[in-house]
Structure 1
Amino acid sequence: MVRLSDFLSEQQRRGKLRRLLPLEHPEGGRIALPQFGEMLDFSSNDYLGLSRHPRLLTAAAEAMSLFGTGAGSARLMGGNLELHRRLEAALALFKGLPAALLFGSGYLANIGIIPALVGRHDQIFADRLSHASIYDGCRLSGAQLHRFHHNDCNHLEELLQKRRGGAGQALIVVESLYSMDGDLCPLAEVVELKERYGCRLLVDEAHATGLFGPHGAGLVAEAGLAPRVDLVMGTLGKALGSYGAYVAGDREMIDYLVNRARSFIFSTALPPATTAAALAALALMVEEPELRTDLWRRVDFFKGQLTQAGIETDLGPSQIIPLPVGKSAAAALAAEELRSRGLFVVAVRPPTVPEGSARLRLSVTRHLSEGNLAEAALLLAAGLRPGQGGS
């Protein structure tokens, strides 16, 4: 039996020990730690700044006043509020699909959906850089897992040719926007392969929801592929500023998941306040497109500032900017140095990313002004050593 102290000591030695930080959240793109004081916050996934939007705050307060702080039980046991049904209908319309189903979180969605769709006689083809929740869902399913090189459709087709037989179900799982690399999936090519080889396709749009496509509906919608994708999953706790997750698909598929997805069946329903906040966020997606325009202006500005400051990294097409470091210990030290300079950036280490690919992950949000972003680029240039994203 592994001694807990030995495990923790080894994690410390390898620069992988995780600790919960006592963060405080002042407004305006800043965060505070007792040790460092106030810092610019580049850790948040609240991309559009909606978690503090007056419409969401008002909707959440009104729902709490009417329905209380919690739903009281699972949806199938008596926690199925009219608010939940309204949000599912709004999400289906938002995604351009017939129906939707709410889950407690993105993690709960993936570990519920995947085992509901495939079992030990079936196969899964997943991108190597898929989120941990996807891989945990794959393991729970008992299906045979085949991992293809990141965003490499040639390798995916090679695996499909070798492994995809006529018997059993086959599921392809990708993310439309990869949260630790900031790059986009070649969705059109993946859809063609899933149709050619008779597979189902699950697309995780956690970090694309609210930002890409018509009204922020995501990259599947932007590519016009919604009718050809079996299931589109997304979260409510990132760009939509609330909490929870959803999956959208055809009516029969959603009815099936109500009866098979264990993380839905056996979880308490979303609280009324977060449900109402998500409904308000979806309305804002349609009514205030300038929210997205404003964010992308900030993203472009910050990338220009990084280039001017000599920060060398892959400035991809999204709001997520990874700064490669390599070793876990070096990433942890770099994050600590930047905090001492007033910049809160998270060191992302294995198992979140593959061994040897630790990085600093920056995400741009509307909370950050152009002045904040220009300051951050200078802080990064001063705080990073060569080989840590610097020139």
Structure 2
Amino acid sequence: MSSEVKGQVADGFEAVRDAFIRNFEALGERGAAVVVHHGGRKIVDLYGGTRDVDGEAPWESGTAQILRSGTKGIAAAALLLLHQRGELDLDAPVGSYWPEFKAHGKEDARVRDVLAHRVGVPALDRPLTVAEAADQDLAAAAVAAQEPFWAPGTDHGYHAQTYSWLTAELVRRVTGRSMGEYVAEQIAGPVGADVWIGLPEAQAHRVGRVGPVEPPATGQGLRSRPKRAIVEAYENPDSLTRRAFGTIAPAADENDPAYRAAQLPGSNGIGTAEGLARFYASLIGEVEDGARLFSAETVQLARTEVSSGPDRVLISPSRFGLGHMLHGIASPLLSPTSFGHPGRGGALGFADPESGIAFGYVTNGMQKGVTADPRAQALVKAVRGALGGGA
């Protein structure tokens, strides 16, 4: 499989290529790509394996894949960009933009609570079908009518699916545009990043099929066994964990063109590794032939901790800024200054302002686990080592 790895790395970053090759040889990789920018310049661009998890056609430069929750980092950037431009107040009540959201004691919920997973509605009393989830009017109404599981702002828990409708509705109420439209016009377009929330039909031919793959055995020292409390939370159908991840039921077919075309900013964005890395590079600096999106003040907002400690949904401790995960046990990134977002089972994108690194990794092989995928982590460690931070 290593002979199928293509692309380039800058001098000094050869260890990233070695780690990428090892992912295929030892960590169960089927098809993937990784891109790293440094100071706005691309220094790693690698891809290999097959385009489809269950196929034989080779992965090509520009092959795209579903990002799952990696999409949340893009959605968060949309809200932060609106704040930067004076169109959205992070400290304003959500209800000041979306009056229906005030129901059942949510009148004090703030916009920043939505971004930091503190708004208290990680699940719905009745799960939505895939068709209902794709209907922003219907889904937003369901979220607005939901009684919170805790008083907004008082605790945090990962809003795995409801993050889609919370963020999309705020964008729609402020701009009159859908999240997918706003991202295309104000984020992806200006910086030249191949990322989409709502895949255009013209780009569908670039997207590979995804599917589950078995993670490496624990005996190889590659992934430790999760704690009993975490296992029980995912197994118990009545737990908040299962309810949060099961807000869309039955689960969507992620290879269905109709699902890929839907706009779910918490779970179904599509992108290339280059698109993901370029997006994050544009948050912390100017990219080649593109714009810079975030001011220094907004970068500081993105990387400042708002939520930390035991997560009511993930069970394990998590750290969030305003929409992005921060470096920590649940989602190790490059350094304490990093902010970004993993996708359940594989994808990872982040920016590290201190080093000027922006990172994008996508895969078609979805392994078990919500964060800290061993393949992505192997690549992050290699980047860290190349920068002199040790493996």
* TM-score tier (shorter): under 0.3
Taking structure 2 as the reference length, what is the TM-score of the superposition? 0.26
Structure with the higher fraction of residues in helix conformation? 1
Answer with 1 or 2: which has the greater Rg. Answer: 1
